[in-house]
Amino acid sequence: MDLKFSPEDIAFREEARTWLEENRPAEPRPNEWPDARDFDVAWQRTQFEAGWAGISWPAEWGGRDLSMLQQLLWYEAYARAHAPGLGVNFVGMSHAGPTLMARGSHMQQAAHIPQILRGEQIWCQGFSEPSSGSDLASLSTRAEIDGDDLVVNGQKIWTSYANVADRQELLVRTNPSAPKHKGITWVVCDMSLPGIEIRPIRNIAGQEEFCEVFYNDVRIPLTNVVGGVDNGWSVAMSTLSFERGTAFMADIVELANTLERLVEQAKAAPAPLGKGRAYDDEAVRVQVAELRAEVAALRALNYATVSRIARNGKPGVEGSIVRYYFSQLLQRTQALGVDVLGASTVGPERFSPWARGQLNAFRASIAAGTKDIQRNIIGERMLGLPKDR
Ligand SMILES: Cc1cc2nc3c(=O)[nH]c(=O)nc-3n(C[C@H](O)[C@H](O)[C@H](O)COP(=O)(O)OP(=O)(O)OC[C@H]3O[C@@H](n4cnc5c(N)ncnc54)[C@H](O)[C@@H]3O)c2cc1C
């Protein structure tokens, strides 16, 4: 791996930093719908119009066709400028768009990728079901072919942004008699179709970011199938490789920022017993030092991922190590923030940013495969340990 930046990379980084400093939204992202969606869409649109959306995406679809390293430099400039996260554009930008680029037909790419980049099409992911999460291949939402359509009946759960999404990457069972990995289809579902019912679920941080989605005789044209009927498991594996391998690059960069924010606030906050500053406590400084070292190691792993993608063209199974390690460091950092800042994290709002951050950090070791599933993947597919029974 070559960690040196070329003069072009350095010039790109400077240009990105300047643009972000001048253009990032000044106001914070609203916490409630529909304002949060409007905010995310407007910010995506601003980036697109200035040529900063889809750094490594093909120019044919409105991207810049630049390298994955430049994509990562963009994320670093982004975190440095404290620009807001992808919000409702997360699924489209992080894994639906990349899956369509890897597995979709030219017509499907033309119909969706430019709209995703422009913030005109919000996506959600309909994979998990009430009895099929870690064991995703056991999913039972049924789709029968009727003329030129698939007719879908069943239920999904934990579908982030379903209540504000236009499209969904939907996994359905098209052949119940085939072995469980064989009879699954990956299809683009229009969320405004008749027969779809969406019920938001309130999470522990008080936000309605994920939903239950019910399908009652929903007719989806067969032309929306990606990768072929009954061939959806391999398409889903492409989606998950992006979701585990590259989708969290920006969050990893942001984690270093969160830690430094904690240090600044601990220097300003009084110690719990009122003597000196919270940061004067040696135990706190030891934990901060350990986290700084580990976050630096995580960022090195992130660079290694980029280097591998540059060689192989797609994220590898090593993404599970990064995903697992990131989730643990994020949770430790957020918990330390609440411990150190104590009562000062409780503000006039129902949840202060640190309290909300700690509650939201739980998701990192569940979504996109729990920490146990990531460990199983590392054990079986990288270390060659016996298969999980
Ligand atoms: C914030 C958030 C957003 C999400 N967004 C989406 C979304 O947009 N779309 C979507 O489809 N899904 C989404 N999910 C769902 C997520 O993918 C599932 O929650 C996850 O895959 C786990 O499935 P489960 O909840 O059914 O838990 P289960 O699979 O029932 O697991 C329960 C427990 O058993 C453990 N376990 C299960 N199997 C094994 C095993 N083989 N070995 C060891 N331990 C095991 C798990 O680690 C876990 O601790 C989201 C989840 C969260 C938290």
**Residue nearest atom 29 of ligand 1, based on CA coordinates:** 134
Question: Confidence band (pLDDT; 50, 70, 90) for 346?
Answer: low
Q: Are residues 308 and 340 in the same domain?
A: yes
Q: What is the pLDDT of residue 267?
A: 93
What CATH number did the domain enclosing 69 receive?
Answer: 1.10.540.10
Q: Which of 171, 197, 230 is the last residue of a domain?
A: 230
Q: Give the model confidence (pLDDT) of 124-161 as tens digits.
A: 999 999 999 999 999 999 999 999 999 999 999 999 99
Q: Give the model confidence (pLDDT) of 23-41 as tens digits.
A: 999 999 998 899 999 999 9
Phi, psi of 286 (to 5 degrees): -65, -45
What CATH number did the domain enclosing 316 receive?
Answer: 1.20.140.10
Q: Answer whether residue 353 shows pLDDT above 90.
A: no
Q: What is the pLDDT of residue 375?
A: 94
Q: Are 127 and 179 in contact (CB under 8 A)?
A: no
Domain of residue 150 covers 123-230
Phi, psi of 74 (to 5 degrees): -60, -45
For 139-207, the DSSP string reads ---EEEEETTEEEEEEEEEEEETGGG-SEEEEEEES-TTS-TTTSEEEEEEETTSTTEEEEEE--TTS-
Phi, psi of 119 (to 5 degrees): 75, 20
Q: Are residues 133 and 179 in the same domain?
A: yes
Question: Confidence band (pLDDT; 50, 70, 90) for 359?
Answer: confident
What CATH number did the domain enclosing 145 receive?
Answer: 2.40.110.10
CA 306 to centroid of chain Cα atoms? 17
Q: Answer whether residue 344 shows pLDDT above 90.
A: no
Establish if 2 belongs to a structural domain: no
Query: Between 80 and 247, whose confidence is greater?
Result: 80
Q: Are residues 175 and 106 in the same domain?
A: no
Test site for ligand 1: of 124, 131, 134, most ligand atoms within 8 A of the Cβ = 134
Q: 62 CA to middle of ligand 1, Å?
A: 34
Give CA–CA dist 218/108, Å, rounded.
Answer: 20
**Tokens 């789709």 found at:** 143
Test site for ligand 1: of 370, 374, 389, most ligand atoms within 8 A of the Cβ = 370
Q: How many domains does the chain have?
A: 3
Cα dihedral sign for 135, 146, 164, 62?
Answer: positive
